[in-house]
Chains A and B, each alone.
Chain A
Amino acid sequence: MLATIGVSSIEALFADIPKSLRLTRPLALDAGRSELEVFEELRELADRNVSTEDELSFLGGGMYDHYVPALIDSIIERSEFLTPYTPYQPEISQGGLQAMFEYQTAISELTGLPVSNASVYEGPSAVAAAGYVAKAATGKRSTFVASRGVHPHAREALATLAHAWGMEVVEAPLRDGVTDLPELDDQVSAVIVQQPNFLGAVEDLAAASSAAKAVGALTICSCDPLTLALLRPPGDVGVDIAVGEGQTLGNRLDFGGPSFGFFAVTEALMRRIPGRIAGETRDLDGKRGFVLTLQTREQHIRREKATSNICTAQALNALAGVIYLSWLGPRGIVELAELMLQRTAYARERLQSIHGVHALHDQPVVREFALKLDAPVDHVIARCREQGVNPGYPLKAEYPELADGLLVAITEQRTRADIDRLADVLEASVSKQLEAYEEVKA
């Protein structure tokens, strides 16, 4: 090969790199290992994590331990879906493009908005991306109003970017667990709410969107797609942009990613949406086919005037999403959501009846609810975990005003027996902790 090139050594191929910039030592990394050694190492690392298989977990807060049906793995592990690049050559990418089109349809149905893209990175950054759309769509305005019920990571991701845009994120407080919007003015670019909110409460989206409309602002709703089986679609109540975390649709937890973000908008915002979109068209012979479309929005065509810088998104995860939605179907998704609703109602009632445990709010909930403990939440969690139960997520780091708050999520994988066990363990832990506290006081 070197002879064909006409050089004498591999090193000669790197002649353009100044000698002073060449690394004269090997990289300080371990030597390579065999496949079986690497497998063992990665298994050993996996064994040092406590997964939702290792404990009875009620963690939620944006990602949830839903069952991922077997057919998803069998399809998304296929090389034809796993290994291609973004479909730049549509003639040999019809599978991926058609799946995007199907996905867009399903997301559009769930959100009640006519235009969905083919995915963005994940939930919280999708909120920031929606802010970028609102900024461009509403002209020179200075603020975003984000509910304190929006996922803390999403509010922070938006603030990270808003700072660069010279904009401010103003927080709307929660009252009785739901958003209490302040007076809005014509400097507001968008009002941002979450459905259900971080504390599990179902928000009144119609109220938020009509307040936003009155000052010419957009309404952005970050929503959970599975609970949309039961809740009014954001598009039906005046929301302009519906985004959210897609993990609950057939994606694994993976310690937080990769999953996908969905992004759906009104007709009016169609040409401002970020990322890839598949559209239907015809080929030379008149046969139906699919292509990436409206590409004049995108960075590779529009460059500095693009509606986003996004390139690689989450196609494979979105594929898992549409397979999952097809698996559920229109009746199944409602049945699944109702099962969560009923078990969550049961769990909420059961846990709130424990001595030293109170409701943090009484708003309607679907899958998740917030409690307030009379005992220090960290100690209670530690005691529960000794019994193999992870009772939920402590709120205090992100909601200091809700110290000793606990967020509890109930997916379809948590049965009544599991909930009863949680109740027993939580009751024992809180009571032991209260006793210990009394002893210290005495």
Chain B
Amino acid sequence: MSWFTAAADDELTIYERSKPGRRAFAPPPLDVPERPVEELIPDALRRTEPPRLPEVSEPEIVRHYNRLSKRNFDLDTGFYPLGSCTMKHNPKLHERVAALPGHSRLHPLQDPRHAQGALELMWQLQEALAEVAGLPYVSLQPSAGSHGELAGVLLTRALHEDHGEERTKVLTPENAHGTNPATVTMAGYDLVKVATDASGNVDLDDLRSKANEEVACLMLTNPSTLGLFEHGIEEIERIVHGVGATLYYDGANLNAIMGISRPGDMGFDVVHFNLHKSFTQPHGGGGPGAGPIAVSERIEPYLPRPQVVRREHQGNGAEMGGGFVGGCYYDLDYDRPKSIGRLRGFQGNYGVFVRSYAYIRSLGAAGLREVSEVAVLNANYLLARLRREGVLEYLPEAYERLCMHEFVLSGAPMRNQLGIKTLDLAKRLLDFGVHPPTVYFPLIVDEALLVEPTETETKETLDRFAEIIAEILREAKDNPEVARHAPYTTPVRRLDEAAAARRPVLRQAM
């Protein structure tokens, strides 16, 4: 029943495997005249003892990290319906193309004239993302979704300041991802929360009462974190723009609507993409990702520097070293006087752009639309299957509507009737070789379980998942203790998180 075929015992750390004198690295020979180190770096600036790093041989390093890898569950091994994270298949081609030396060994300060392939790729990706968003301009610079959010709110500030307005508040729905309110504070605004109505939409009356001239922006996820499309999006747009605020689109849930509906057409001013969600950058156990933003015409002047642009050759293309007749070249544009400035170093996470570009080229227009269609089909099918299994009796939908690419269940009846909590269900799922859905988010649903199957799962996988949930509920009816103490088959059992936070041990003792 277990996924874990090895390494079930306590693992030593790489530091605990260290033995004096062991090593892996052999330096190349010194081929220049040697000078005394103290002559090159004065004593006062020099380190006296080498940093304490592990002393291990190459075979030990390889075995250590291979053993550690076996203590990880991963998407290539099993179902991973982690809501709001879009755990879809990561095509293997992408790793191969990203590793080509022309991409992977390209220095970020290479003269743009000698990085034309990279700049063209970035420009093409900008164009494609702009089309998906329905907004004309894209900056690829932000490093992740939260970084894109920060960019978006800073752009809003720049817009208002440029118009001589000082606004102090940003609105977010109460069910927003935690990154939204954290971004609001980090961008120097006060947060105002907007309520959710009985059917899971933004409460329009509450929005109206809070929308005023002090409001800079509304940050919204659509479909929402409840997996529901905002019924009142057109009215929301009117209210927000009516008070001169901007409308920000959190792209975490873009996987539901690619090629079907576009944030720009809904009236959003700024959109961020999570290339590690909809566009298949592998999550890497917590990154890397990338969080490009698409913006409307009126936001464009403030975009971060530099911007990747395509320029027409003048004459024989002397600006490129000559020899060009006609055609275009790609460049980095720093001449952006109203720009908010840089958000990070260099041009962004280019290696991620290579993978996402390869994905878009593989799928094309029809393929991207099919992604969203199947993602929504799979989610609704799974919900229907859970209903057929009788699961919804204990884990009802938070809102009885068609869902988009994910749906929220409430474990409250399960807790009350069977005596197991959402956490217990999640932990028991581990014994069945399934990664649990997102739990206890959104916060507004009691004992929430957020399920996102994605388009790359088969009907058989979804059927099996529904059966497993039903099986765990049956088991809990007989004996809730089983789930309460799960998991049993994992490398470690439930961990004491409270103790970890109370007395933090954050590094190896030496």
A–B pairs, 13, beta carbons within 8 Å? A10-B373, A61-B109, A78-B69, A81-B65, A85-B285, A87-B285, A92-B487, A98-B13, A157-B343, A230-B41, A254-B104, A279-B505, A397-B334
Could you tell me the distance between the alpha carbons of A151 and B134 in the complex, rounded to whole angstroms? 36
Q: By the criterion CB–CB under 8 Å, are B116 and A48 in contact?
A: yes
Q: By the criterion CB–CB under 8 Å, are A342 and B35 in contact?
A: yes
Q: Is B467 an interface residue (CB 8 A)?
A: no
Q: By the criterion CB–CB under 8 Å, are A305 and B185 in contact?
A: yes
Could you tell me the distance between the alpha carbons of A28 and B495 in the complex, rounded to whole angstroms? 50
Which listed residue, B33, B45, B114, B426, touches A364 by the CB 8 Å rule? B45
Contacts of A61 in B (CB 8 A): 109
Q: Is B284 an interface residue (CB 8 A)?
A: yes
Q: Is B286 an interface residue (CB 8 A)?
A: yes
Q: Is A400 an interface residue (CB 8 A)?
A: no
Q: Is A96 an interface residue (CB 8 A)?
A: yes
Surface stretch bound by B, among A141-149, A179-187, A281-289, A429-437: A281-289
CB-defined interface of B134-150 with A at 8 Å, one 1/0 digit per residue? 10000000011111011
CB-defined interface of B341-359 with A at 8 Å, one 1/0 digit per residue? 1111111111110100110
Q: By the criterion CB–CB under 8 Å, are B368 and A125 in contact?
A: no
Contacts of A161 in B (CB 8 A): 150, 154, 186
CB-defined interface of A265-298 with B at 8 Å, one 1/0 digit per residue? 0000010000011111111110111110111101
Q: Is B309 an interface residue (CB 8 A)?
A: no
Which listed residue, B37, B58, B74, B505, touches A82 by the CB 8 Å rule? B74
Q: Is A94 an interface residue (CB 8 A)?
A: yes
Could you tell me the distance between the alpha carbons of A280 and B505 in the complex, rounded to whole angstroms? 5
Q: By the criterion CB–CB under 8 Å, are B24 and A285 in contact?
A: no
Q: By the criterion CB–CB under 8 Å, are B97 and A39 in contact?
A: yes
A: interface residue count bin: 35 or more
Q: Is A402 an interface residue (CB 8 A)?
A: no
Surface stretch bound by A, among B205-213, B241-249, B380-388, B408-416: B380-388
Q: By the criterion CB–CB under 8 Å, are B493 and A91 in contact?
A: yes
Could you tell me the distance between the alpha carbons of A83 and B73 in the complex, rounded to whole angstroms? 9
Surface stretch bound by A, among B257-265, B311-319, B474-482: B257-265
Which listed residue, A102, A270, A304, touches B191 by the CB 8 Å rule? A304
The secondary-structure label for the interface of chain B is loop
Q: Is B1 an interface residue (CB 8 A)?
A: no
Q: By the criterion CB–CB under 8 Å, are A335 and B178 in contact?
A: no
Could you tell me the distance between the alpha carbons of A308 and B181 in the complex, rounded to whole angstroms? 10
Contacts of B441 in A (CB 8 A): 300
Q: Is A387 an interface residue (CB 8 A)?
A: no
Contacts of A69 in B (CB 8 A): 24-25
**Whole-angstrom distance between the Cβ of B18 and the nearest chain A Cβ:** 8
Q: By the criterion CB–CB under 8 Å, are B25 and A332 in contact?
A: yes
Contacts of A330 in B (CB 8 A): 50-53, 55
Which listed residue, A17, A28, A41, A48, touches B361 by the CB 8 Å rule? A41
Q: By the criterion CB–CB under 8 Å, are B283 and A84 in contact?
A: yes
Q: By the criterion CB–CB under 8 Å, are A39 and B93 in contact?
A: yes
Surface stretch bound by A, among B229-237, B292-300, B390-398: B229-237
Closest 5 CB pairs of A and B: A46-B102, A256-B346, A316-B284, A256-B108, A48-B117
Could you tell me the distance between the alpha carbons of A116 and B55 in the complex, rounded to whole angstroms? 21
Contacts of B65 in A (CB 8 A): 75, 81, 99, 319, 323
Contacts of A401 in B (CB 8 A): none
Q: By the criterion CB–CB under 8 Å, are B188 and A164 in contact?
A: yes
Q: By the criterion CB–CB under 8 Å, are B506 and A338 in contact?
A: no
Contacts of A92 in B (CB 8 A): 3, 71-73, 430, 435, 487, 490-491
CB-defined interface of A35-66 with B at 8 Å, one 1/0 digit per residue? 10011011111111111111001011111010
Could you tell me the distance between the alpha carbons of A416 and B33 in the complex, rounded to whole angstroms? 10
Q: By the criterion CB–CB under 8 Å, are B342 and A49 in contact?
A: no
Contacts of B376 in A (CB 8 A): 10, 13-14
Q: Is B56 an interface residue (CB 8 A)?
A: yes
Q: By the criterion CB–CB under 8 Å, are B70 and A95 in contact?
A: yes
Q: By the criterion CB–CB under 8 Å, are A338 and B493 in contact?
A: no
For residues 14 through 54 of chain B, which have their beta carbon under 8 Å from a beta carbon of chain A? 14-15, 22-25, 27-28, 30-35, 37, 40-42, 44-47, 50-54
Q: Which chain A residue has the least Cβ–Cβ distance from B34?
A: A342
Q: Is B61 an interface residue (CB 8 A)?
A: yes
Q: By the criterion CB–CB under 8 Å, are B367 and A91 in contact?
A: no
Could you tell me the distance between the alpha carbons of A121 and B491 in the complex, rounded to whole angstroms? 30
Q: Is B163 an interface residue (CB 8 A)?
A: no
Q: Is A31 an interface residue (CB 8 A)?
A: yes
Contacts of A232 in B (CB 8 A): 44-47
